[in-house]
Chains A and B, each alone.
Chain A
Amino acid sequence: TQLLEQSPQFLSIQEGENLTVYCNSSSVFSSLQWYRQEPGEGPVLLVTVVTGGEVKKLKRLTFQFGDARKDSSLHITAAQPGDTGLYLCRGGNEKLTFGTGTRLTIIP
């Protein structure tokens, strides 16, 4: 099983601030996904990145796949309370375990 490390583990910031969270591995992925999980719910897929260096935007969320396809970042601009949740990354393969996640809290 390939390991995915996410950082930071916890992040709490004020509404309106910007933030970046990271997903890293020593392995190369064919693709990588980001999920958001809200309390009492299952993870929901946000985006899949496939090409090294790829950047995808989803409103205020910007996802980047590293050139070597071993890491990824998620940047949120002007964070809002609705962004609160657990952010998980996952490699594009059934055998890969999800990262332990970044638990994000946006303070109004």
Chain B
Amino acid sequence: DAGVIQSPRHEVTEMGQEVTLRCKPISGHNSLFWYRQTMMRGLELLIYFNNNVPIDDSGMPEDRFSAKMPNASFSTLKIQPSEPRDSAVYFCASRPGGAKNIQYFGAGTRLSVL
């Protein structure tokens, strides 16, 4: 299996621009998680989905952030408009059904907002 695939690996954009991060979970996994990692705050859970349905988005920092999962094999995290404080590494993880404690992470997208 190819694992969780995230794209792009790196994104550099200017303040005010829209940014879309993409994630393809491991086939057959039914939960998907979006995290943000910074030196100051560590790894923070932003939102997670079960069977394509958002379950908890309380970690989403503000209305500029939105996430969708239109089908079992694809999810997006969008930031509009982006701000310099959004600069971080964004990770997607997926989990197989029935395996409460196991998450498999992608390699992340490093976002720099100038």
Contact = CB atoms under 8 A, between A and B. Distances in A.
Contact of A98 (B43, B56, B101): B43
A42 interface: yes
Contact of A92 (B56, B101, B106): B101
B110 to A, nearest CB: 8
A54 to B, nearest CB: 14
Given A41-B108, A42-B106, A100 B42 contact: yes
Interface in A24-49: 31, 33, 40-45, 48
Summarize B's interface: helix, strand, loop or mixed. strand
Contact of A42 (B44, B48, B102, B107): B107
A41 B93 CA distance: 12
B73 interface: no
Chain A interface helix/strand/loop/mixed: loop
A44 B4 CA distance: 12
B107 A98 contact: no
A42 B56 contact: no
B45 interface: yes
Interface in A69-107: 88, 92, 94-95, 97-101
B100 A45 contact: no
Q: Which of B44, B45, B93 has the most CB of A within 10 A?
A: B45
Contact of A44 (B44, B48, B56, B105): B105
Interface of B: 4, 33, 35, 41-45, 48, 55-56, 91, 93, 100-108
20 contacts: A31-B101, A40-B107, A40-B108, A41-B105, A42-B91, A42-B105, A42-B106, A42-B107, A45-B102, A88-B42, A92-B101, A94-B33, A94-B45, A94-B56, A95-B45, A95-B56, A97-B43, A97-B44, A99-B42, A101-B42
